[in-house]
Structure 1
Amino acid sequence: MASLISGTRNLLRKSSKPPMHTKSEVAKSEPVTLIVIGCGQRGKAYGRYALESDACKVVAIAEPRPQTQKLYAEQHKVDKTLVFNTWNDLHAASADTIRTIGKRLADAVLVSVQDHMHVEVVLAFAEQGYHILCEKPMATTLEECIRIEETISKANVIFGMGHVLRYSPYHREITKIVQSGALGQLINIVQVEPVGYYHFAHSYVRGSWAKEKDSSFSLMTKACHDIDIICHWMGPTPPIKVSSFGSLRHFNHKAKPINAGDATRCLDCAMERDCPYSAKRNIENITTALKVGPYGQCVYECNNDVCDNQVVNLEFENGSTASFTMVAFTSAICNRQLRMHFTHGEIIGDMKTYTITDFRTNRTKTCHPTDEGGGHGGGDIGLIRTFVEAVKTGNQQLLGTDVGEVLKSHMTVFAAEASRRQEKVINCVDFEQKARVAMRDRLAQTVLR
């Protein structure tokens, strides 16, 4: 602990910044300092900005996988005393430095751990006063989402959500057109999320998001930011009704080809060469993983239970409507198809280009937004850059949303899943009210016990 405190003193002395509170106290000449909890794919995506810009710096990490931890720490030149195996250890070290030195380890925390861990990590660090950027989804249960909203609001810290679609150049340009009113009132949105046949098999059949109990339902884990961007475009008018239908249509034992016989792994399957979901075809040079790991399993023998196709229909308070389709069986991977219908025009897009047609002039214009590179057409970089600026200036509004709106869009996703399961139209307002009452009742019962 002595070496930790010494290392922390040196770090804080170099930065010479006062403790972080609700308003920005980051010196304009100093980079925003970041803690990264989870250094996998999403942690790397957000951390990339720190390597490319002087605006921020990663100063502490928590990552249990030795090789991933080592590479990330070396890449970002993180002091060894601020490299931890678990977020709990990092959190405890932060508590010690706050108590002994009176300063936090950093300005903000990037939460990019597995979905079911979001709530405990966000609550713990928000309560210490850190600004938070949380990867999607906010949490995996409705009650956990409400708890995060209440804690963030009480802590009064900057909160960013991994709804990266909002922050890509493509989506920002479309948002400006919608909000300008240049094409009249937005009447209807149709959006399709083509997950990709093999991407779905890898992540939602064999991978970490295959079973709801280990993460959440696929509409939440894959498409919560689709519902968010739809609600954002329709805003400030809220959704009032939602209906949804979907199922696990193909990736189950009933759909297994007869010629596959009793094989449960790709390496043992007689028809492996002809199967579009062959792990051998798509995962090269990882023999051990193919033989014994989950990614070598037959997609029809994985005990996965999340939907591989789902549609969501929304009605908004002003009478506007939207439909969203998430489907696994596509060659395109996450290149969302969009149609927006206005009273005086329409927009048709594919996440790379979009066309605008004005009915009044009968003119059509095709636009090619700049792709900044990285994931989601520049959305990853756009989000972390905006979050860092929000922290530096103490301005939540720069993010274009807040924790209350984030909760609202998650509520809509939970309501859609409730509709699918209950086979009925859900009133969004009633759904939220009942959820909050149920949570208060559970808390009251816990106190009485």
Structure 2
Amino acid sequence: MGLDIRSSEPITIAIVGCGQRGKNYAVYALEQPSKCKVVAIAEPRPKTRKNFAQAHLVDDSLVFHTWQELLAASAETIKTVGKRLADAVIVAVQDSMHLEVVLAFAQQGYHILCEKPMSTNLGDCLKMEAAVKSAGIIFGMGHVLRYSPYNQAMSNIIRSGTLGELINIVHIEPVGYYHFAHSYVRGSWSKEAESCFSLMTKSCHDIDIMCHYNPAGTPTRVSSFGSLKHFRKQSKPREAGSAKRCTDCSYERQCPYSARKIYLEPVSQGNTHWPASTIVDGIPDIENVTDALRNGRYGECVYELDNDVCDNQVVNLEFSNGVTASFTMIAHTSLICERQTRLHFSHGEIVGDMTSFTVTDYRTGHKSRHTPKNEGGGHGGGDLGLIRTFVDAVRAGRQELLGTDVSEVLRSHLTVFAAESSRLSGSVVNCADFEREAREKYHVGA
């Protein structure tokens, strides 16, 4: 299934979707060209496609507009030459497309790293698990938190047992007031019908890392509460009047969600990175960002849009070994995804903020502060850690190097779906019953 571990050749990768997530994973190929190389891409946006191809020196014959074109070229190469275009595929397209892309390339035998979530549909997640297991490929999921030096160091202490028995987990995802406005009010994840509920699209890897902290248990019961409380018509400041766009609003300078503040002002100061880089094709400048704000969704008032996903949600979990956990996702914070975690043990605790954590031993009163080295990349080094681990797993042909497999990935996704079911029904959901009923409904066995 894998390559000869002694091979000195870099792992070859095809990127499907060259946006922010695709770029973040592909950086590893630029930093470590002896480890992996991007040899093919598929991306519909012309400037984004051109810039990506140039950055990675991708041959023109392997630059495609759509993933279907890449798949067809791969099928022809397999037929005529007997080999695939690359060793692995990174799937970084919109969430609703994940299933069809993963299934297509899995059938051709590619190892796959899929951005989170698996899919926006419960049945599709079950189908993906079945397809990956049937194909026998190495499969990685964009649960990047597992792979940051910070979380790996914390996990080592948990597993060492030095603080005794794990009893409780408290975890908070402070999304950030303008981050939420960008992605979940104006952006691609703003409407459940076109994407998915926000607990899945934003926080499925938070539920996953909580499960990862407790390897001895599996989720048994879940409850959840939440709503879209602020980003709606009723919350619009009276001073904003009938303005539909920030460029036409007299209240814009006082509004924390001003599109000028979020996108245009950073670009005018030389910052061409996120979030402005995501709203235009190619490199953002004052002209194309101004055009996007005047004519596109990203310039519209956050109180006048048709967004419908929760801007706050809490989840409570009970595990099979008696551990309890609580999770909060909140949009209205100054912190941008700087997660805060408290782990309570019988003989101590760990308190962390995604950069450093403090370990307290109740028996000795000793406190120690740990600041694991962040080697760069998003999510505290988790993006780099995931792609590096995935490449190593592909080279060795060993799924276990990723520390998880598609069935465990599915289990944490099922927990997220169960939490949302609880929020909507107002009831506590039994996780085993939820999975059994889902498999019966979609006719997909374990």
TM-score by length of 2: 0.93
Q: Does structure 1 residue 187 correspond to structure 2 residue 167?
A: yes
- Trace 1:33-432 onto structure 2 (pairs within 5 A): 33-53=12-32, 54-284=34-264, 285=286, 286-432=289-435
Q: Does the CA contact (< 8 Å) of 2:216 and 2:321 recur in 1?
A: no
Deviation of the 1:149 alpha carbon: 0.2
Counterpart CA distance in 2 for 1:204 and 1:328 is 9
1:217-264 per-residue CA deviation (whole Å, 9 max, x = no partner) reads: 100000000000101111231010000000000000011111111111
- Give the match's secondary structure for 2:193: helix
- Give the match's secondary structure for 1:132: strand
Partner letter of residue 161 of structure 1? M
Counterpart CA distance in 2 for 1:63 and 1:204 is 23
Deviation of the 1:288 alpha carbon: 1.1
Tell me the C-alpha RMSD between the 2 structures. 1.1
1:144-184 per-residue CA deviation (whole Å, 9 max, x = no partner) reads: 00000000000000000000000000000001011111111
Q: Does the CA contact (< 8 Å) of 1:49 and 1:381 recur in 2?
A: yes
1:68-97 per-residue CA deviation (whole Å, 9 max, x = no partner) reads: 111111111111100000000000110111
Counterpart CA distance in 1 for 2:205 and 2:227 is 20
Partner letter of residue 98 of structure 2? H
Partner letter of residue 431 of structure 2? C
- Give the match's secondary structure for 1:213: coil
1:299-325 per-residue CA deviation (whole Å, 9 max, x = no partner) reads: 001100000000000001121100000
Q: Does structure 1 residue 23 correspond to structure 2 residue 2?
A: yes
- Give the match's secondary structure for 1:212: coil
TM-score by length of 1: 0.93
Q: Does the CA contact (< 8 Å) of 1:26 and 1:32 recur in 2?
A: no
Deviation of the 1:34 alpha carbon: 0.3
Structure 1's unaligned 5+ residue stretches are 1-21, 444-449
Partner letter of residue 157 of structure 1? I
Partner letter of residue 427 of structure 1? N
Deviation of the 1:423 alpha carbon: 0.6
Structure 2's unaligned 5+ residue stretches are 265-285
Partner letter of residue 222 of structure 2? V
Larger RCO, structures 1/2 (Cα 8 Å, 6+ apart): 2
Counterpart CA distance in 2 for 1:345 and 1:111 is 41
- Give the match's secondary structure for 1:421: helix
Q: Does the CA contact (< 8 Å) of 2:176 and 2:335 recur in 1?
A: yes
